[in-house]
């Protein structure tokens, strides 16, 4: 009788553990700002995120390349971690402290922990999420044009591979949100958030974020 009780208790415990593990597995999430804030190297091995640009003039994933430079903690004299290309002037960053930028007759704040980017003179900025899972994901995000003093705003698109899922065009100072449910992915899938300079890259500082859940 005691042996039977032990077997039943062990079975119940194992069933509970499997159930909890299954719940944990289905509750995975990837938050761009949170994950970037913790990075101390350009491409952490455990991270599905990577930071890219496209200088080809043709918006196709085959043309996306990684930013050539990475700086942790301080970038261009500011308290930020950044990925950049000095040749094009493009960068992606996340501030470790809030600071004020002044230029072209106006000022705005780069907020601590708020992802920002600036497309280059001839390039797009691209955030890539390489799926580590098989299943359906939900995507929630925002894009804000920070610098409304000049230029023509920015364009954006959310692509699964080379398929555009959602896109938009922001005027100076404009903002947009995006939301997608039940997007099917496998470990060979990549999701791209593309920020485009439109006709020129003047005053194209842009803040954004993206949350992926399943």
Residue 21 in domain = no
pTM of the model: 0.86
Domain, as residue range, for 54: 28-213
Task: Give the other-Cβ count within 10 Å of 17's Cβ.
Answer: 10
Task: For strands 49-54 and 65-66, give the pairing.
Answer: antiparallel
The pLDDT tens digits for 72-101 are 999 999 999 999 999 999 999 999 999 999
The pLDDT tens digits for 152-196 are 999 999 999 999 999 999 999 999 999 999 999 999 999 999 999
CATH number of 56's domain: 2.60.120
Side-chain half-sphere exposure of 36, counting CA atoms within 13 A: 30
Residue 4 in domain = no
**What are the residues facing 38 on neighbouring strands?**
none
DSSP-derived secondary structure letter, 163: E
Asked whether residue 198 carries a pLDDT value surpassing 90, the answer given is yes
Asked whether residue 203 carries a pLDDT value surpassing 90, the answer given is yes
Asked whether residue 107 carries a pLDDT value surpassing 90, the answer given is no
Asked whether residue 20 carries a pLDDT value surpassing 80, the answer given is no
Residue 18 in domain = no
Q: Are 128 and 51 in contact (CB under 8 A)?
A: yes
Residue 10 in domain = no
Give the pLDDT score at 103.
82
- Band the pLDDT of 12: cuts 50, 70, 90: very low
**Distance in angstroms (rounded) separating the CA atoms of residues 167 and 155:** 8
Instruction: Read off the pLDDT of each residue in 190-208 and give the average, rounded to a whole number.
Output: 96
Residues of the chain with pLDDT > 70: what percent? Answer: 87
Q: Are 50 and 70 in contact (CB under 8 A)?
A: no
Give the pLDDT score at 106.
85
Domain count, the chain: 1
Q: How much is the CA Rg of the chain, to the nearest whole Å? A: 21
CA proximity to 97, closest of 120, 118, 74: 74
Instruction: Read off the pLDDT of each residue in 26-43 and give the average, rounded to a whole number.
Output: 91
Q: Which residue has the tokens 């491409």?
A: 43
Burial class (CB in 10 A: 0-12, 13-18, 19+), 26: exposed
Q: Are 115 and 207 in contact (CB under 8 A)?
A: yes
Q: Are 129 and 61 in contact (CB under 8 A)?
A: no
Give the pLDDT score at 182.
97
Which has more pLDDT, 74 or 20? 74
**Distance in angstroms (rounded) separating the CA atoms of residues 71 and 207:** 19
**Planar angle of CA 131, 132, 133, nearest 5 degrees:** 90
- Band the pLDDT of 5: cuts 50, 70, 90: very low
The pLDDT tens digits for 121-157 are 999 999 999 999 999 999 999 999 999 889 899 999 9
Asked whether residue 4 carries a pLDDT value surpassing 90, the answer given is no
**How many residues comprise the chain?**
214
Residue 13 in domain = no
Asked whether residue 24 carries a pLDDT value surpassing 70, the answer given is no
Residue 130 in domain = yes
């Amino acid at each position: 009788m005691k042996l039977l009780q032990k077997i039943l208790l062990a079975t119940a415990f194992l069933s509970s553990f499997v159930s909890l593990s299954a719940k944990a597995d289905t509750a995975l999430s990837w938050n761009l700002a949170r994950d970037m804030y913790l990075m101390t190297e350009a491409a952490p091995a455990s991270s599905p995120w990577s930071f890219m640009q496209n200088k080809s003039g043709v918006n196709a994933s085959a043309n996306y390349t990684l930013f050539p430079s990475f700086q942790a903690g301080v970038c261009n004299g500011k308290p930020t971690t950044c990925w950049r290309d000095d040749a094009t002037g493009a960068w992606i960053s996340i501030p470790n402290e809030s600071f004020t930028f002044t230029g072209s007759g106006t000022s705005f704040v780069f907020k601590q922990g708020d992802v920002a980017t600036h497309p280059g003179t001839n390039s797009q900025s691209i955030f890539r999420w390489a799926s580590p899972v098989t299943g359906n994901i939900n995507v929630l995000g925002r894009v804000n044009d920070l610098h409304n003093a000049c230029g023509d705003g920015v364009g954006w698109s959310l692509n699964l591979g080379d398929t555009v899922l959602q896109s938009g065009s922001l005027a100076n100072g404009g903002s947009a949100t995006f939301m997608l449910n039940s997007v099917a992915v496998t470990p060979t899938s990549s999701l791209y958030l593309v920020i485009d300079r439109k006709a020129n890259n003047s005053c194209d500082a842009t803040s954004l974020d993206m949350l992926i859940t399943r």
